[in-house]
Amino acid sequence: MKEKSAKKNILVSVVMGSDSDLPIMTEATKMLEEFGIGYELILTSAHRTPQRTTKFAVSAAGRGIKVIIVGAGAAAHLAGVIASQTSLPVIGVPINATSLNGLDALLSTVQMPGGIPVATMAIGKAGAKNAALFAARILALDDKELSAKLSSYIKKMAKEVEKKQANLTTL
Ligand code: RP5
């Protein structure tokens, strides 16, 4: 099922506030690759490079991007700032980057004022993985092949639980 993203139509932007977020956001890119979804990796910060962030946000839809995944830690305003400048769906991944263990990023990402939605995932690796799966579910709305891949993925997960159950009972 693995396909290289480089030659694919780029439909998803995976944005990070810092290169220190990459080990977490790799969980998202791995899933996108598994589903054969083309993506781009963008490094930009709401606070350190506000103009670069605006340039990215206002141009994304025109470049054919359909979904934006944003990982950021600390006072994580990046997803909200991007969501405020595009009508594309924005999925936020709070990252554990400070002594507050990601709670700061979670609240900064999820507590958006009414009118500017950010679909906020769990803190860290599970959130990054789910961000990619959520993007896949959005794209699958008008992509039957992708929809079938998602169904197989869900069935495979269920089978794995059954296998683990069988292993438990033979212990
Ligand atoms: C945020 O600050 C980034 O998203 C990162 O999670 C955090 C720390 O960044 P660095 O100081 O490691 O570059 O903007």
Give 10-140's CATH code, choosing from 3.40.80.10, 3.40.50.1100, 3.40.50.300, 3.40.50.1970.
3.40.50.1970
Please write the tens of the pLDDT for every residue from 47-64. Answer: 999 999 999 999 999 999
Cβ of 20 closer than 6 Å to ligand 1, yes or no, is yes
Atom of ligand 1 nearest to the CA of 105: 6
* Whether 55 contacts 67, CB under 8 Å: no
- With CA atoms as reference, report the closest residue to 42 among 65, 74, 8: 65
The pTM (predicted TM-score) of the whole model is 0.94
Residue 159: partners with Cβ closer than 8 Å, 6 or more residues away: none
Give the tokens for residue 1: 């099922």
Please write the tens of the pLDDT for every residue from 31-49. Answer: 999 999 999 999 999 999 9
Residues of the chain with pLDDT under 70: 1-7, 171
Q: Where are the domains of the chain?
A: 10-140, 144-171
Atom of ligand 1 nearest to the CA of 73: 6
